[in-house]
Amino acid sequence: MAKRNDLKKRLKAADRRRNRRRAVQGSTVKAAPSQPQIRPADVIAELLMIYARDEKSPADIVVTTALKACERGDLPSKEPARSLTLKIEAVAGLPGVTARAYRGAIKELLEAASLHQGSQKERPDAFLAYLSILGEDA
């Protein structure tokens, strides 16, 4: 047991010395340039707007299906949702996008979609309309 305690003491002392050296040399050490932060929610919303603009009959159900599939990590069987899911999943691979930020963006967009679902007869495709309004403001 005595050897173990002695080893811990020496390791802690070495850590303290290392930290002091870093603090002294901190101003002279060059840090690696940070990558620009990309907001995945903005990129995904832009993809959804492109889908709404290019598709002949865009639907909220396709968008929510694609977002839910991205959240679960699977692929829908129907084609419009499948291709949209693949495009959304490509956002996770962009430089500067962390997995945590990607998952948060998916969750954020799903919450916004659920707020705009309501009755499909009264307000069909309300989420895509909401996104188009946001896109005009930006």
Higher-pLDDT residue of 49, 29: 49
CA distance 76 to 70: 9
pLDDT tens digits, residue range 41-97? 999 999 999 998 888 888 888 999 999 999 999 999 999 999 999 999 999 999 989
Which residue, 115, 128, 136, 134, is CA-closest to 48? 128
Residue 96, phi-psi category: left (phi > 0), alpha (psi -120 to 50), beta (remainder): left
Task: Report CA 101 to chain centroid distance, whole Å.
Answer: 3
The answer to whether residue 133 scores a pLDDT higher than 90 is no
- Give the CA dihedral 108, 109, 110, 116, nearest 10 degrees: 120
End-to-end CA distance of the chain: 65
